[in-house]
Structures are given as structure tokens and as C-alpha cells.
Structure 1
């Protein structure tokens, strides 16, 4: 028995040595970077902006693989079930924290291994010319004079941040805007311009060109401070609704049980990418604001986001697609 225990100890020690050696040599082959959204979207643009830096920093190709479907669920599921060796990483957005409350998933997002909070894109509430309000405060006052449900808003789909942001506005302002979902942000914007809907929350990169062209006007930006590229747009807090804290954020996750040395290696690499002066300028020009931090920082933020989305879905009585 004593000899058997010694053999078992030796085997475990050898396996541990091999795992540690593999981690120390990471990476030594190409890395697949799953982006659970379609090509050309903000997630894809963000990933491809920092992809060359990551490839150079890690010394191995980092291949962006778009796996769009079900508001990110398809790509997230593939990433969740990948081998936890650091050669498949998931570039996800805020939808990963909302999806469990809106649709059936075959994975538990809480079991993802968080790497880093990369950055975010703020949302601007846009209105068409039929809306005579100049800001969010005036808009809420106007809505309250109308019969419930007579003012419509468009979004890029159920569970998208534009949808959830407006439902949070409904909750905080005690109003009742009716949701008309579309398949994409451009379609939602077109609906607002044409008068099919009256307002829409959109990312700054899409909203600001519409504002400059005079097709839609801004009511407020859901950001803690006024934006450098849109200093004239008041924040939701300035308009009396500091509780509307919602944006499209992006972060890196790994499959469950990925070893900590790999997590730390990737955290360091992505932190270097988003703090590189040249990349930072490119991202901010696209309305993307880099964040960064430790895996623990991201884990704490991710959990708080899940609690927030659970509250919105529950209070707004948004029906899950799985029902």
C-alpha cells in the first residue's frame, strides 16, 4: 500500500510538472479568438483593431473567428465548451450577462473565467423630428402627457443593450415606451428617422453621424460624464436619472477551469494592447473607451452586471425566448 501511494504521488507530481511546463510555454501555437457577433459590428471592429498588437505581443497568430447568432449565445456556447488550454478565448459583450435571463443557454456564464474588462461604448438616446423635446427631461414630461404605449422605440433586438437601456428608462422614469425590435442597429435607426418609431438608444459611433447630419437629435447620453466627442449632449444623470447606468461593454473570457498562469498571461497582453497610445487613439476615434484592470476587477463587475440585467428583465416583465 505504501508503495502504491508513492507511485500515485509520483504520477500526480509528474502531471503537475507537465501542466506547469505547458503553462510556462504558453502560447506556442495560434489562438482562436471567438467574437460572438457578426463582422463589421463594434465587437468585431474592437477585436480587429487590437488583433495585430496581440499577435506581435504573444508571438503567435491570434485568429478572429466570428460566430454570430442568438445575441451572442452561439459563440459563447462554443467558447464555454472549448478545451481550457488558452487556445480558444471569447471576446464577449454585455449581452453575455443578460442572455441567461432572456433566452435558453446550455452553459452557465458564471462559470466563465474572466480575464479583463477591455472597454465600453456609451449609448445616446436619439429622437426624430416629431419629438419636440430638447432633452431627456423634456421628453419624459412629454411622454407622461400621452396615453401609455403611444410612443415607440426601436432597438437592434430583444436583449440588446438598446432594448435594455430603454426598459431601464421606463423603470426609472415611470413611463411606458413601446418596443419595436429590428434585426440590426441600422434598421432601428432607419425606423426612427422614418417615423415608424420616435426614439432609439444607439452607440455613439452610430449616433453621432446621425446627429451631425441632422436626421436625429440627442436627448441624453447614458454615461457618467459628458463625452469628449459630444460635449453638448447632457448625461442621463444631469437630466435627473442617475440610475440609468447601462452601456455596451466588452471583455475577454476563457473556458471554465483554465489555469491561472494562462489567465495572467492574457490579462497582461490585453492590458498592454488597450494602453498602447496608438491603439487607444484608434479605439477612442471609434467611440470605444478602453478600461482594463485585473481578472478580479472584471469578475466583480460582471457579477454586478448580471444582477442589474436580472432586475431589468424582471421589473420590465420581458418574456424569455425559451418560454
Structure 2
């Protein structure tokens, strides 16, 4: 059974978020201990190409820290190996707060990369969770299924005959579907595509009847009637698709699988520096202009301090490694 850490840590609750914003405003003691940091530009390394949800989060973080700390934050996109090239680069950087890493949930799937040359928990200092983005389980309207329960029943009647599309092997959409399969006993066939856009279009065009994809890929097709949503993968409904139940609501209690975006620094980065970065990020995400830009993409602001972010990484690593090992998933 999965650990509903997102909901248990109450990242979406107004009191918790308000408390984080208040801490960002009043933690002057911690800021003073950081001395004159930063006194030169900060490099924010992203392991993914420019454009898309991850890059949007990177730009928001960069501008937030720039505004709060008065030094430019330069986003450097270094795509490749599911973000691991960029992660290793930051893991080996000086622990002074001038090189930081924008990670996503892939950082918690080390079992999928047998040649990995860093340890996410030993080589990094968690700084802050920024936001999370659930996926949507959807079907082509010609496929005569209109609920998750009907999909599970169909799969039971037709074992091994149902195909689903994802954004690629090891992509969070793939992992989210594998988690659902493990919790329901469905026997289905994975059809990986090179990204969420192509996988969504494959379902729209009828190449495959079912897709698990990011909300940003799906929402337009739902509104046009070219895809039928069955459930949201996150711990709560999405503001982008408020009428669509979560998968847990739709009949799989305890299910939860979201992509998320956070900031890591090299291990050994001084705590006052980590705290200063975290407070700047949380204050930035609180601004309505940034919240709105995230929400329209199906991404929810989720400020989380270093301690709780570390717990999230630990919990997600246990969850996803179990799925990876059980299903012999490898991205190499």
C-alpha cells in the first residue's frame, strides 16, 4: 500500500501553507546567519530541455530567488539520461549554494538506473519542494469505458489485451500506471511514447485506447471531448479539472502518484544558506502571478521545508523502487 505522504503532510492545507509563508516573512535570524550570501549569480541546473512544465517551474524559482535575494539566478538546461547528467553535475559541485538542482520525481527511482553514480539522499541537501503535478488517466471516447471501475472490469474480462500509452519508460506517467496496475491486478500492455504530447495524441487518434498523461497534455482534449478522463492520480482533485475524481475516490483507496518539482543543493551546503533559499522560494510561489501560471498547467504550488521534503524523498524512493524492482523496469 502506498504512503499518502502528500496528503499526510498536508501540503495543500491553508494553515500549513500560511505557516510556511509566515516563516518566510519572519525568519530574519536564520537569514542573518547566511552572511552576505548570495554575493554573485546562482546557477539553477535543470535536467530537462527548455519549454514544458519543468522549465516553467525552473523559471519561476529563478525569478523568485532573484527577486528575494537580489542576485540573478541563471537557469541552465542540461537534458539527458532522465535528468541524471544534471543531477550528478550538481552533486559534485561546491557546497556553497551557488549551484542548485531542480529535480522531479525521477530522483526517487534509483533502482531504474543501475549505473547511477550518485545517491540522492547522501549527495544532496533537500532545500524545498516547489510544486506537484498529478497525471490524468483518460480514454478515447470511442472506447466504451466511462469510469475507472469499468476500466478495471474490462481489463479483468480481457487480460493482456488492453494497451495503454505513457510518456516513456520510467516516465512518471508510466510509473503511475504501473502503481495502479499493481494495486488493482489489471493485466495490461505498456506502449511507451517519446513524451506526454505524443502519447496523448496517440490516445486521441485511437492508436491506443488508454493514456496516463500530465494534466497539461490532457486538459484541452477533455474540454474538446476528444478524451474522457477517468481519474486524477494525485491526492486531491485538480483545479484544472475539478469535476474529475481522484483515482482513490474512483475506487482505488490509498492510490497516489504525482510528479513533483523540488530544489536540491550539494550535500554539506550550510543550513543558513539552505534556509535562505527555501524561504525565498516559498515566498515566490505564494505570489498570485506565479500560482496562476502553475495552476493553468495543472501544477499546484506545494511549498515544503527541507525536513518534510527529505521525508517525501525517502517515502517516494521506497514506493517507486518497489514498483521498479517488481516489474524489472530499467531506463538504461
TM-score by length of 2: 0.86
Q: Distance in 1 between matches of 2:297 and 2:268?
A: 34
CA contact (8 A) 1:116 1:252 kept: yes
Q: Is 1:116 aligned to residue 128 of structure 2?
A: yes
Alignment of 1:1-323 (within 5 A): 23-111=34-122, 112-146=124-158, 148-315=159-326, 317-322=327-332
User: Which of these two proteins has the greater Rg computed from alpha carbons?
Assistant: 1
Deviations 1:186-237 (A, max 9, x none): 1111222222222111111111111112221111111223223322212111
CA contact (8 A) 1:73 1:99 kept: no
Q: Distance in 1 between matches of 2:208 and 2:56?
A: 28
**21-30 or 55-64, which deviates more:** 21-30
SS at match of 1:183: coil
CA contact (8 A) 1:102 1:319 kept: no
Q: Distance in 2 between matches of 1:47 and 1:263?
A: 17
**218-227 or 166-175, which deviates more:** 218-227
- Structure having greater relative contact order (Cα 8 Å, sep ≥ 6): 2
CA contact (8 A) 1:172 1:243 kept: no
Shift of 1:151: 1.0
RMSD of aligned residue pairs (Cα, Å): 1.8
Report the number of matched residues. 301
Structure 1 residues 100 and 24, CA, compared in 2 at 3 Å: closer, same or farther?
farther
CA contact (8 A) 1:102 1:318 kept: no
CA contact (8 A) 1:192 1:198 kept: yes
Structure 1 residues 33 and 54, CA, compared in 2 at 3 Å: closer, same or farther?
same
Where do 4+ consecutive residues of structure 1 move more than 3 Å?
A: 99-103
Shift of 1:185: 1.0
SS at match of 1:187: helix
Structure 2 unaligned regions, length at least 5: 1-31
Shift of 1:53: 2.7
CA contact (8 A) 2:202 2:208 kept: yes
Shift of 1:130: 3.6
CA contact (8 A) 1:71 1:99 kept: no
TM-score by length of 1: 0.89
Q: Distance in 2 between matches of 1:286 and 1:240?
A: 26
